[in-house]
């Protein structure tokens, strides 16, 4: 099922849960070390963009809401169509 995180706490929760290994994602730049220590790949993007890796949609901050939501809806539609 598709899931998404935005800003700081989402990636930190996923890191603590051990589910970032091998995933590409974005978060607030200060979280990059936590993402990488958890085995994920931090993908730097503009504060108005989002990153998709399979069923995971991530973004750096509230300014990414338009791109983040659009990408999440694409992932959700693909999931529901499958």
| The pLDDT of residue 12 | 87
| The pLDDT of residue 74 | 96
Tell me which DSSP letter residue 60 carries.
S
78 has a pLDDT exceeding 80: yes
Query: What are the Cα distances from residue 5, in Å, to 13, 20, 39, 74?
Result: 9, 12, 17, 15
Q: What are phi and psi of 23, to 5 degrees?
A: -95, 150
Of 48, 9, 6, the closest CA to residue 25 belongs to 6
Residues 26-45 pLDDT 10s: 999 999 999 999 999 999 99
The pTM assigned to this predicted structure is 0.90
Of 13, 78, 37, the closest CA to residue 58 belongs to 13
pLDDT mean across residues, the chain: 92
Residues 35-71 pLDDT 10s: 999 999 999 999 999 999 999 999 999 999 999 999 9
| The pLDDT of residue 9 | 79
């Amino acid at each position: 099922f598709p899931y998404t995180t935005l800003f700081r706490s989402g990636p930190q929760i996923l890191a603590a849960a051990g589910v970032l290994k091998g995933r590409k994602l974005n978060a607030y730049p200060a979280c990059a070390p936590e993402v990488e220590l958890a085995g994920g790949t931090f993908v730097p993007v503009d504060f108005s963009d989002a990153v998709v890796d399979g069923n995971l949609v991530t973004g750096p901050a509230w300014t990414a809401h338009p791109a983040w939501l659009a990408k999440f809806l694409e992932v959700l539609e693909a999931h529901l169509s499958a």
